[in-house]
Chains A and B, each alone.
Chain A
């Protein structure tokens, strides 16, 4: 039964105005002491005009953000198989320890003697990453995966400069994430795209043909964005090294192989690790992330400042490029020392799992993905044959002649109570559906999801395209007009002009 309510609210789904539409002059959500009226020393630049912020009381603010939260889907709410994003359970223990006053309440410029525990924590986190990757060095400061890529590619630029070589071409598979070509370009490289084979891997012959003395290196994701392990990865490493280039590995999918394969054994020179994927620091609606980069001996000297070193009985933070330690840092990527809050959470996660649990986690992630693949492969069109790693990729040929697109199917999945899979990525597959269940899902939840997908596919095949075109029906908002949003951007609230 559908009807319109007086308020526009629908039970628990409550319409919520912007804070700017709720404020009243004279209201506030904080009780601060009365200023004493000291004469200001602001250089004559005292603010005279209003800022334009609304006044709300604390209960209003709590209610506002609680209502907003209820319009969001998170891992805590349900199955979130967003391929390549690794939406696994975020343990609350990690939140708790990240808030210990002795860790959260540290100023980044405190004297070294007062932050020995913090430096030790960074060193411990680094140690776990080094053992898990088998690599000799790690730069902890990059803020997120994309900045990790920047870190790795800048180290390659610096190493080439040190060799006096002007190599500027970077080979990037066409299945790569958009940050790879964007990063290469930001480091002054040109991007040369490598095609994929019919089984979803790098075309080795095409790759070999593109090598030359102007090639700086390759940026390869492994396991790749199709959810597949690059079988020829060692051959690729050897070839790029023989040609005088470096091997940058995008480690976004490290979660599939943690504790089972060490990237060092594959011949890589640099790899970023998304702590917010593999080591479960929360995605937080789009960050913060953290993207430490492990380096081979060839690139290690060029790692950016700052970095932590052991010194005597304690730890020392190297903040300048001039310390006489044989290092030739390419620069600094971030203010202060990196995403400490994320190191704490990641270390807590790694300690909780241990070497045994991390190995189990990657195995279960791959098992869950292959189980999902097995359950769906007869009805959906599998993009590439064989076992997958931590995510299963399908193309949209199973929807051919139904009038239903990948997008339509995803929107119908929302009504079933799931977050949709990743759509239309990687670009090498038509209408891609990339599904990553992660190791923290039960068999039951994967079964429920597969049952729902199969029911929807049957519905699509029965010719009910119109149903899909208009999905979702049961969400706080239905399909939004993205074209209108881009054509005439409204990016902030403004008061009504009389």
Chain B
């Protein structure tokens, strides 16, 4: 087997040094009858060529998102990833490194984590960010738990504009820690105001969670909500699913958010059918010691040279055990590297231009869809994603468009299976990767399907 270097002679010599007669003898602590004497019922080993062929056969059964005009978003976005990103993350020194516990020989990982933290803090408009979480949804859940710790309260108010997966994950994380999760379901044609959310905040409310832009694509100013939260001793958590947006819209930090967290996939990371992605998590200086996850900090070495280490680990599970701020251990190291490299390539001008292009393409698509009989864009505001009301159930329309070679968007019924009032709504995302021809193909296919 090509990955296993020991020869028969090696094994014999090693057993001799050990003083054991066989490898089975090394397993002598295994209870009687539990040690298998033959391979399990699975196929035998394969060469590279056969494995590749098997995997290509599976790949061939899928419709790649870039092989057709594609307009799916809802928390995962197709963007162009520069070739440099994949080159860097495939360097073995990054790919095959461990968590940087030995900082003398992990300055590469540590320095990019420091850069990553700075980039995340910069785009969100916050003081500090951590070295990544698993994804946007788990970041949201961790933000709620952090807010509960910081305020010593036990209730979270979730806005109806929050992605349903984020809500479900947050409810799942909270259900066994006596944390109440409140909030009304959202609707694409009704947006909760700060006053409506205000009614749900009481003296046990640790935080209010809003999404910006929200799951229906709308963009709302949360300055007033931040003031309301703070007046009542609660924190404002701003969640996002599209990290490119902050190149075009005001940062959540400018509203007075206390925690900003969300999904970083859209910068540097492929769609990967939903994972691995990278959770971004930022907060204020004041709350840094309540943060979950790993943090990289600057220091100096024995010779006085600047260097980086993992720090404030007394928050973490390997030190604090059951009193840790989170159970997270492995996070999304390599995905955060992809984010860092892509963001470094973009820079100030590239990041803002990328955001502008996304918005302009979305405006074009919105106009084209609005011109189709039976389809109307419901959003007053949006970044690169908006909700369209159709005269037919969106899931049926999406299926009909698959047959025409167009991935039209995400039917809200996929995200809200129990909300029949949302059956006719379609969520459409448009990025810099969509051409004018893509938009024309979508509009004409929609026209046929809705006729």
Contact = CB atoms under 8 A, between A and B. Distances in A.
Contacts of A368: 6, 14
A95 B270 CA distance: 13
Interface stretch (B91-99, B196-204, B442-450): B91-99
B250 A490 contact: no
A53 B347 contact: yes
Nearest to A315: B61
Given A38-B360, A69-B91, A128-B42, A352 B3 contact: yes
B441 interface: no
A284 B349 CA distance: 29
Contacts of A389: 26
Contacts of B93: 69-70, 72-74, 76-77
A285 B332 CA distance: 9
Interface in B259-301: 263, 270-278, 288, 294-301
B221 A43 contact: yes
Given A320-B417, A414-B102, A288 B335 contact: yes
A243 B154 CA distance: 33
Contacts of B319: 178
B79 to A, nearest CB: 11
A51, A110, A145, A340, most chain B CB atoms within 10 A: A51
A247 B214 CA distance: 41
Given A114-B402, A178-B321, A348-B51, A333 B169 contact: yes
Interface residues of A, number: 204
B334 A43 contact: no
B39 A107 contact: no
Contacts of B115: 18-20, 493
A493 B122 CA distance: 10
Contacts of B92: 74-77
Given A355-B41, A492-B117, A47 B299 contact: no
Interface in B346-369: 346-357, 359-360, 363-364, 366
Nearest to A479: B302
Given A354-B46, A370-B26, A29 B84 contact: yes
Contact of B6 (A93, A359, A367): A367
A249 to B, nearest CB: 13
B420 interface: no
Interface stretch (A202-210, A395-403, A456-464, A469-477): A469-477
A332 B165 contact: yes
Nearest to B91: A69
Interface string A119-132: 01100100010011
Interface in B295-324: 295-303, 305, 307-309, 311-314, 316-324
Interface string A382-413: 00001101000000000000000000001100
A331 B172 contact: yes
B300 A110 contact: no
A19 B344 contact: yes
Interface in B113-127: 114-115, 117-119, 121-123, 127
B51 A28 contact: no
A439 B23 CA distance: 13
B195 interface: no
Given A18-B115, A106-B273, A480-B307, A61 B60 contact: no
A268 B48 CA distance: 35
Nearest to A231: B29
B33 A265 contact: yes
Contacts of A30: 82, 345-346, 350, 354
Interface string A167-205: 000000000011101111111100100000000000000
Pick the 6 closest A-B CB pairs, nearest first.
A102-B59, A336-B274, A117-B61, A76-B92, A331-B172, A43-B381
11 contacts: A28-B349, A41-B366, A42-B248, A72-B105, A73-B106, A114-B402, A144-B329, A144-B330, A286-B330, A334-B138, A357-B1
